[in-house]
Structure 1
């Protein structure tokens, strides 16, 4: 599979390691409309079906984090029945030290 960024490939490998089912960029969500067309879309990097969770991966680039947080905020407002989470580098490395059940419990709780 071809990923947009190496961090996505690494994340998918760790999901596999923990035996967490994932789908890469399964759907795009319209966030902004104008003049009869969609002006802004959000395509989460992953969907984790067993957690019913859409995940967006980000690097530690503050500008990128800010943009992605804004998109997630819009998505949560427009699609309140869906679960979205932003994983940054720190979150990602914290996953490596936990087992599958702890990840599931923490993800559902947050």
Structure 2
């Protein structure tokens, strides 16, 4: 609580408002995009199972799941855009290893 004439925003409230705004911007930027889950199905890792309903209902994203064998097939049969692959590999090189 604060006095009625005090227009300052407490630090904890400021942080909560900023988090809420950032979350809203993140959701807005993801809406209409797709999430691709790769390999989790075949590995059977329960923690990597994607909740399709959450992504579709709350984030407005489509969800697709691809098994690693599908990636292998596409690589073997050269079913991919070479320019897109080069761009992805260049992006990966820029990422710091943890």
TM-score category, normalised to shorter length: 0.3 to 0.5
Highest Rg: 1 or 2? 2
Structure with more helix by fraction: 2
**Scaled by the length of structure 1, what TM-score is found?**
0.30
Higher share of residues assigned strand: 1
Structure with the larger RCO, 1 or 2 (CA within 8 Å, 6+ apart): 2
For normalisation by structure 2, the TM-score amounts to 0.32
